[in-house]
Homo-oligomer: A and B are copies of this chain.
Amino acid sequence: MAGAYQDKQAVSGLLADGDPVIYTGFDAEVPFESGHLVFRTTVISAGTVGSEFFMTKGHHHIRDSAELYVGMSGEGIMVMESRGGDFACEPLTPSAAVYVPPGWAHRTVNTGSEPLSFLSVYFGDAGHDYESVEKSGFSRRVHRGETGPELRETAAE
């Protein structure tokens, strides 16, 4: 997911240093079919690429449908953006539920110093569209600022 981060020089440095695993997902054995609820645990390591916090690639669902996240450990932020360009973010903390409404692209960001782990639940037939997020990206990104996480506009490439 080298392309996801803003600072291309920092990405090159990380890749040269051995291409670290930034996040890992553990899937429950549930059919990817209508009527089922798929659930997954994701763990995002703590760290930054340049000043941008480690995060997931982010995706839309192919079939517009909601996803629910429940924080398990660590501290993070859920970043959401609608197809119409509305932007929102919510803290993702232990035992807190964060709702991603149908039609919003979403990405999770680890803003803490420990691994961020969470449960996510979505429709078995939701499908994942990573491509449109790769193309259009999110309009804002979460960086390590002087006093804590900061939202900054995505710079034109």
Contacts and interface: CB of A to CB of B under 8 A. Distances in A.
Contacts of A30: 66, 99
In this complex, the interface size class of chain A, counting residues with CB under 8 Å from chain B, is 20 to 34
A123 B35 CA distance: 8
Contact of A95 (B64, B72, B121, B124): B72
A151 B102 CA distance: 41
A35 B68 CA distance: 12
A68 B97 contact: no
Oligomer copy total: 2
Interface of A: 28, 30, 35-37, 39, 64-68, 70, 72, 95, 97, 99, 101-102, 119, 121-124
Given A35-B66, A36-B65, A66-B124, 15 more contacts: A28-B97, A35-B64, A35-B65, A36-B101, A36-B102, A37-B37, A37-B66, A37-B122, A37-B123, A39-B68, A68-B121, A70-B70, A70-B119, A97-B119, A123-B123
Top 6 A-B residue pairs of the complex, sorted by shortest distance between their CB atoms: A37-B66, A35-B102, A35-B65, A36-B66, A37-B68, A121-B121
24 contacts: A28-B97, A28-B99, A30-B99, A35-B64, A35-B65, A35-B66, A35-B102, A35-B123, A36-B65, A36-B66, A36-B102, A37-B66, A37-B67, A37-B68, A37-B121, A37-B122, A37-B123, A39-B68, A39-B97, A66-B124, A70-B70, A97-B119, A121-B121, A123-B123
